[in-house]
Structure formats: structure tokens, C-alpha cells
């Protein structure tokens, strides 16, 4: 099986700060890979390289075994890579419908097809089971969970093959977090590959098949979730050391 | 408790009308201002609400009205354009020079002058937008430089002379003696717009119902559409109630007013119904999100500034045509009126929020205040103090409105 996405030896420097240093990760269809690490470890920067927000100084990206160049968010979207950013990246002054379709509006001639977009947005957001009474209010007026739902709806409407979720539950209560968990499982069952970044080890242990831990812009290692304990992972995050006697985890376990 | 529930009843009333609360406020304020001025000027020959005064008022609103929609877009994208008065003056001067016979001018055709002027305005705007978008130079500084450069370039290209008289055909743009479309065409325009409003309301409603989408209640739809129709009808009647001197032939709508209405209509449509408009608001709401959504933010900014420049040039054509002679101070300080009108009309300087309709009403409110105070014989200094206070009040109200909405 070829990986859905493979990032090989990605390096990126911000001024004097080596944010990414030869980072390699991969992701297979129907798999959740948790990306872990302290604040500033480089997780968001890494996924922004994949989503076309940043361009790496060096390294290669492969999608379905083919080497690709991702220069813009559109490039990534065209490859089926959708991203839910840590800060959500919503235009607060626009309504939910406009945000779901931002940059990819449906038009008839030059006129926005608002009805189509409203109906589709409604269908997509209903799937996420978080109540949003009016899709026509500015998202600034919505709760954290509703805004999160809009951001997720934006990513899943366009049939992602690879979904990147950067801290998707940071702003959510326990109930809404559980709903995001269910959604991740459902998408996984559909064969979507998911990079999941989260601070909450419980969530990640519950959802991820493999874990890639980063520290100071480098990969500490990649392990199978079932092989490690919380303490092992904390050791990787804090100390940057691999636990003893674990298998390398460069591909998912055979079913 | 009691107060809270009435407040909620009121917001839900406004909500079911489906009209921006700030636009509603503007309309009410305008009605109050017009009534007060009418009461204060009742005893004198030139009453505020006389057809003559309202007709003049419409012409006086035109120049700012043409530019204010562009300024809304500029401000919504978190930018500012301080150079519009100077662009207006400079392009107006170039247009005057092109169409004026030698030795003062260059002896070109008036239509060539107009097109060249519009292209020049767009080019200047794009040039300024380029530095803002691609080099990250603050728009305040770029357009302040533009203000200086083009104000003085106006003097230089004309060697300080006043250029005119302008071509008779060109002068139609200014709304002078031949610058109105007459009674018949005013009715035609009015009826076409009314038919369009009704068609739009009905077709939108039936399409949304067919798609199973929520619509506003029938009474609200009827009230909004009916009010709009009544306003258009009143406008037509007033425009046709002011005759040429010494006759009873109505002038009808002045050409500059027609131009203004067309510009505002198109801009409003673009803002609400096209990707371009959507992206203007997205950039203002969250530039980073716009970028991550794949919107070409830099190109959008250049386009918005180019549009502003072109509108300033169009306003320059109207102003020049109205004055018949272009001086090198034409349009001086007009940028302040345009920005003030946009802000009074509910455009937030923090970006992301504003409406073309609100800004148009803002421009109308400003020229109403000026016209009324002139009728009352208030000295210019006092007029400006009052306008300043109104601007301040509008900004405060706008801030409160946006804070409550969060
Ligand atoms: N746009 C940027 N410009 C400069 N430095 C940045 C930028 N984005 C991130 N960094 C730096 O890169 C490093 C990695 O940050 P980030 O990827 O956000 O970490 P994480 O998401 O793991 O918390 C940090 O040192 C951060 O300060
Ligand atoms: Mg991060």
C-alpha cells in the first residue's frame, strides 16, 4: 500500500529560527496519525506546509506516491487535502454559509448561488450534529462549538481524502469534543486519512492509530498507539527520548 | 425583565424585516433632519423640502455619492484612501485639458477626455494599491503621498491656470442647463426600477420557498418592498416638480444623479452578489483566513484601489462638467467628506463591516445638513462644527452597535 501523504525531510526556517528540521511523516488512507509536541514544536508549521500556507525550504511531498509541489492552499485542495486551522481561520463578519464556501463559492455566471450554498451548508453541518439555528448570522455571534462546526464543515464538504485537524477540540466542551471524536471515526471508516493535532492525550490515545512526536522542529519518533503508555509519550514530548523496545511505526499495522 | 423582553421584541421585529439596523437608523435620522429643517425654514421662500432645494440637494450629493461606495470597499478591506480628492482634481484637470482647444488645452474629443480620465484614475488607484498590497506600505502613507503628489501635479500640468470652458456635450455630465434627462425619461427610469424591485422581491421569495429556505414574513416583505417603491415614486415626483426657469417644463432627474444612482446600484449589487464583493468582506473580516481560503488578497487590494481611483475620476468628470472651468483646487479636502459619509453610513474603520446603501444615505445626510444650514444662513465655520459633531456621534453609535452585536 502506498501512503496517502508522505512528507520527506521537510525543513523550514523563520529568520534565525529552524521551525522544521528534516521532518518526515506519513499518513495512510483510513488512518489517524496524532501529531504531538510542546507549544512551538513545529506541528502547526508542518501542517501549514502541507496545506499550502507555507512553502518548505527543502524536502519533498508525495501524494499517492507521486511527488507534488504545493504552492498555495488551492494546490492542496486540488489534491484532496483539507485543513482545519488552529485559529479556525473563519471570517468572523461573514455568515456560516459564506465561511463554508469561502474561496470556493458556487456561482451561476458571475452571481453567487446563495440558495445552493445554503442548502448544501445546512446538509453538511447537520451531519455534525451541533445545533446552529441560523446559518445567516455572522459567525462572530456563534458559540465556540458552533464556530468549530463551521470550520469542520468547511473541510468535509469538499470531500477531503486527507484531513488536517489542528487542535480541533481546543475551544470545545466535553460533549462537543465527543461529537468531533465520533466524526473522526466516521471519516476514518470512509477511508479518509487524518492528521490530528491535539494537546489532550486522552483524545489522541482514543482516536489515533499512530503517534508522531515532535520537539524543537524535529521528529522524536513515530510509534503505534497500542504499544505505548501515556508516560512513554510524555517522555517523548518532554525529554525527546524514544521508549525502549517499541517497534518502528512507518506504516499502519496490518488489519 | 420587562425592559429586556421589549428589547428582544424590538430586535426580532427588526430582524424579521431583514434590514440592517444601521440602515434603518440612518433612514430615521434623515427623516428627522429633513423635518426639522423644513420646520425651521418654513417661513422663507426657499423651504428645505421645496422641489428646487431637493433637486439641488441631489446634485450636491452626486460627487461624494459617486465615490462613497468605492470608499466603503476600501475601508471594509481595512484600508483607507486619502487621495481621492486629489485624484478627482488631477483627472478632472487632465480631462479638461484634453477637450479644451489650444492654446490652453490639447483639442481632443470630449469622449476621449472622459475615457482617458477614467483610465488614468484607475491606473493611479492601482499604482497606490500595488504599494499597499505587494510591499505592505500602510495605505494611510501611500495615499497621503498620493494626496500631495496629485494635488500639486494638478497645478503643474495646467501651469496653475484655470482650464475651460468645457465641451457642451461633456457638460451634460454636470447637470447644468442641458444636464437633465427630462420628465419622460425620469418616469421611465423610475418605473423600470420599480418593476425591477417588485420582480426581484417576488422571484427571490418564490425561489427560496421552492428550495425550502426560510423567508421573511409576508407583512415584512410587503412593508420593505412597499417602502422602497414609495421612496422611488416620491423621488420621481420631486425630480419632475422642478421646472426650467421661466417655464413649467420639468427638468427631471439630473444626469449626475443618474450616474450616481447607477454607480451605487452596481456597487451594491457587486458587493452582495459576486465573489469580488464576498472577498472584499472576507479580507476585511480576517485577512489570514482569506489568504488560507485561497483568495488572492494582493490582487483584490489592487483592484479595490483601482476601482476607487476610477470612481474618483468619474466624480472628477461630473464636478468639472458642473463647474465648466477646472481650477487646481478642485476637489480639495473632498476625501474628508467621502470618508465621513462612509463612516456616518455605518462603515467600520476597523474593517469587515459596512454597506453601500448605508454610505449612500450617509452622503445624503451630510449634504442635507450642509444644505439646511446654508438655507438657515449658518456660517461655514458652524456648519463644519456641526458636521464634525455628527461624524463623532455616528462613530460612537456605530461602535456601540457593533459591540452589542458581538
Ligand atoms: N509565521 C511565523 N513567523 C515566524 N516564526 C514562526 C511563524 N510561525 C511559527 N513560528 C515559529 O515556529 C516555531 C513552531 O511553531 P508552531 O508550528 O506554531 O508550533 P506548534 O504548533 O507545535 O505549537 C515556533 O518557534 C514559532 O514561534
Ligand atoms: Mg500549533
Q: Are A56 and A14 in contact (CB under 8 A)?
A: no
Q: Which atom of ligand 1 has the smallest separation from the CA of A46? A: 17
Reply yes or no on whether the pLDDT at A6 is more than 60: yes
| Pocket lining: A193 vs ligand 1, CB cutoff 6 Å | no
- Ligand index nearest the alpha carbon of residue A10: 1
pLDDT one-digit tens code per residue, B181-200: 999 999 999 999 999 999 99
* B353 neighbourhood in chain A, CB within 8 Å: 93
* Domain shared by B193 and B301, yes or no: no
How many domains is chain B partitioned into structurally? 2
Our CA dihedral for B336, B340, B343, B345, rounded to 10 degrees, sits at: -140
CB within 8 Å: B273 and A138: no
Residues in chain B within 8 Å Cβ distance of A87: 288
Q: What value does the mean pLDDT take over residues B351-360?
A: 95
ipTM score: 0.90
Report pLDDT digits (tens) over A141-161. Answer: 898 888 988 998 998 898 889
Mutation test residue for ligand 1: of A7, A11, A14, the one with most atoms within 8 Å of CB: A14
Q: Within this chain, do residues B138 and B274 fall inside the same structural domain, yes or no?
A: yes
Q: Which atom of ligand 1 is the closest one to the Cα of A86? A: 21
CATH code (residue B154): 1.10.3470
Q: From the CA of B272, how far away is ligand 2's center (Å)?
A: 35
Per the CB < 8 A criterion, the answer to whether B366 and B341 are in contact is yes
Statement to judge: residues B153 and B212 lie in one domain? no
Q: Tell me, what's the pLDDT at A195?
A: 96
Question: For A179-190, what is the mean pLDDT?
Answer: 90
* Helical residues (DSSP H) of B243-379, grouped into ranges: 255-273, 275-285, 287-292, 297-323, 334-344, 356-375
CA distances from B34 to B94, B359, B369 (A): 38, 18, 9
CA pair distance B68, B347, nearest whole angstrom: 10
Say whether A94 and B285 touch across the interface (CB within 8 A). yes
Q: Partners of A218 in the beta sheet?
A: A215
Residues of B in contact with A102 (CB under 8 A): 278, 282, 289-290, 293, 295
B281 and B168 assigned to the same domain: yes
Interstrand relation of A193-197 and A162-166 (parallel, antiparallel or unpaired): parallel
Share of chain A above pLDDT 90, in %: 70
**Which residue segment(s) compose the domain that B89 sits in?**
48-179+255-405
Same domain, residue pair B174 and B304? yes
Distance (Å, whole) CA B73 – CA B305:
9
Write the pLDDT tens digit of every residue in B255-312. 999 999 999 999 999 999 999 999 999 999 999 999 999 999 999 999 999 999 999 9
Q: Which residue has the higher pLDDT, B115 or A244?
A: B115
Of B190, B218, B253, the residue at which a domain comes to its end is B253
- Closest in A74, A119, A141 to B211, CB measured: A119
Q: Please indicate, yes or no, whether residues B296 and B346 belong to a single structural domain of this protein.
A: yes
**Among B227, B253, B279, residue at a domain's last position:** B253
* pLDDT at site B1: 36
DSSP state of B240: T
User: What is the per-residue pLDDT for B15?
Assistant: 67
Q: Chain centroid to CA B343: how far?
A: 12
Q: Which of B269, B279, B277, B276 is nearest to B200 (CA)?
A: B269
Do A103 and B295 lie within an 8 Å CB cutoff?
Answer: yes
Return the closest-CA partner of residue A170 out of A160, A162, A180. A180
pTM: 0.92
> Which ligand is closest to the CA of A214, given by its number?
1
Q: Are residues B168 and B308 in the same domain?
A: yes
Q: Which phi and psi angles does A67 have, rounded to 5°?
A: -70, 135
Say if residue B225 is in the same domain as residue B285: no
Query: Atom 16 of ligand 1 has which residue's CA nearest to it?
Result: A42
Amino acid at each position: 500500500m502506498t501512503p496517502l501523504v508522505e512528507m520527506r525531510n521537510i525543513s523550514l526556517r523563520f529568520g534565525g529560527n529552524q521551525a522544521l528540521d528534516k521532518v518526515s511523516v506519513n499518513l495512510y488512507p483510513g488512518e489517524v496519525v496524532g501529531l504531538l509536541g510542546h507549544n512551538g514544536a513545529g506541528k502547526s508549521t508542518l501542517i501549514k506546509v502541507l496545506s499550502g500556507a507555507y512553502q518548505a525550504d527543502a524536502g519533498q511531498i508525495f501524494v499517492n506516491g507521486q511527488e507534488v509541489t504545493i504552492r498555495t492552499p488551492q494546490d492542496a485542495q486540488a489534491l484532496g487535502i483539507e485543513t482545519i486551522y488552529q485559529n479556525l481561520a473563519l471570517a468572523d463578519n461573514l455568515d456560516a454559509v459564506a465561511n463554508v464556501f469561502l474561496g470556493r463559492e458556487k456561482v451561476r455566471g458571475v452571481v453567487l448561488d446563495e440558495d445552493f450554498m445554503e442548502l448544501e451548508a445546512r446538509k453538511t453541518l447537520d451531519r455534525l450534529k451541533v445545533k446552529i439555528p441560523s446559518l445567516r448570522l455572522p459567525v462572530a455571534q456563534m458559540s465556540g462549538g458552533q464556530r468549530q462546526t463551521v470550520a469542520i464543515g468547511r473541510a468535509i464538504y469538499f470531500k477531503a481524502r486527507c484531513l488536517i485537524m489542528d487542535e480541533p477540540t481546543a475551544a470545545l466542551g466535553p460533549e462537543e469534543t465527543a461529537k468531533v471524536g465520533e466524526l473522526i471515526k466516521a471519516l476514518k471508516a470512509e477511508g479518509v486519512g487524518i492528521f490530528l493535532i491535539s494537546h489532550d492525550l486522552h483524545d489522541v490515545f482514543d482516536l489515533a492509530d499512530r503517534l508522531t512526536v515532535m520537539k524543537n522542529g524535529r521528529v522524536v519518533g513515530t510509534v503505534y498507539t497500542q504499544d505505548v503508555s501515556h508516560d512513554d509519550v510524555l517522555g517523548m514530548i518532554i525529554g525527546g527520548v524514544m521508549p525502549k523496545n517499541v517497534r518502528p511505526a512507518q506504516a499502519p499495522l496490518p488489519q | 425583565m420587562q425592559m429586556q423582553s421589549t428589547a428582544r421584541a424590538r430586535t426580532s421585529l427588526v430582524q424579521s424585516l431583514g434590514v440592517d439596523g444601521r440602515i434603518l437608523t440612518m433612514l430615521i435620522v434623515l427623516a428627522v433632519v429633513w423635518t426639522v429643517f423644513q420646520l425651521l425654514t418654513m417661513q422663507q421662500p426657499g423651504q428645505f423640502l421645496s422641489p428646487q432645494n431637493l433637486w439641488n440637494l441631489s446634485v450636491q450629493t452626486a460627487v461624494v455619492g459617486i465615490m462613497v461606495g468605492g470608499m466603503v470597499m476600501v475601508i471594509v478591506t481595512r484600508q483607507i484612501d486619502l487621495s481621492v480628492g486629489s485624484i478627482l482634481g488631477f483627472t478632472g484637470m487632465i480631462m479638461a485639458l484634453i477637450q479644451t482647444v489650444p492654446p490652453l488645452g490639447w483639442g481632443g474629443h470630449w469622449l476621449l477626455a472622459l475615457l482617458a480620465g477614467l483610465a488614468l484614475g484607475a491606473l493611479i488607484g492601482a499604482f497606490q494599491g500595488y504599494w499597499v498590497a505587494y510591499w505592505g506600505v500602510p495605505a494611510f502613507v501611500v495615499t497621503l503621498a498620493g494626496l500631495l503628489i496629485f494635488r500639486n501635479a494638478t497645478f503643474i500640468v495646467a501651469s496653475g491656470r484655470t482650464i475651460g470652458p468645457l465641451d457642451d456635450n461633456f457638460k451634460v455630465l454636470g447637470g447644468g442647463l442641458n444636464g437633465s434627462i427630462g420628465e419622460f425619461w425620469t418616469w421611465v427610469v423610475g418605473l423600470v426600477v420599480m418593476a425591477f424591485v417588485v420582480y426581484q422581491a417576488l422571484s427571490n421569495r418564490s425561489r427560496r420557498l421552492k428550495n425550502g429556505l426560510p423567508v421573511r414574513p409576508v407583512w415584512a416583505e410587503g412593508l420593505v418592498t412597499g417602502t422602497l417603491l414609495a421612496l422611488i415614486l416620491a423621488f420621481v415626483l420631486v425630480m419632475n416638480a422642478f421646472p426650467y426657469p421661466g417655464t413649467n417644463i420639468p427638468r427631471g432627474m439630473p444626469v449626475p444623479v443618474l450616474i450616481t444612482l447607477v454607480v451605487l446600484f452596481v456597487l451594491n449589487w457587486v458587493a452582495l452578489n459576486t465573489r469580488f464583493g464576498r472577498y472584499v468582506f472576507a479580507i476585511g473580516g480576517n485577512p489570514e483566513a482569506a489568504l488560507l481560503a485561497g483568495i488572492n488578497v494582493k490582487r483584490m487590494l489592487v483592484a479595490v484601489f483601482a476601482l476607487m481611483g476610477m470612481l474618483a475620476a468619474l466624480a472628477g468628470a461630473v464636478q468639472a462638467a458642473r463647474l465648466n472651468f477646472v481650477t487646481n483646487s478642485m476637489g480639495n479636502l473632498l476625501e474628508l467628506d467621502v470618508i465621513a459619509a462612509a463612516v456616518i453610513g455605518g462603515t467600520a474603520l476597523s474593517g469587515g463591516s459596512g454597506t453601500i446603501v448605508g454610505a449612500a444615505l450617509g452622503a445624503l445626510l451630510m449634504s442635507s445638513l450642509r444644505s439646511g444650514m446654508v438655507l438657515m444662513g449658518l456660517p461655514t465655520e458652524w456648519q463644519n462644527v456641526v458636521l464634525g459633531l455628527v461624524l463623532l456621534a455616528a462613530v460612537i453609535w456605530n461602535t456601540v452597535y457593533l459591540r452589542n452585536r458581538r
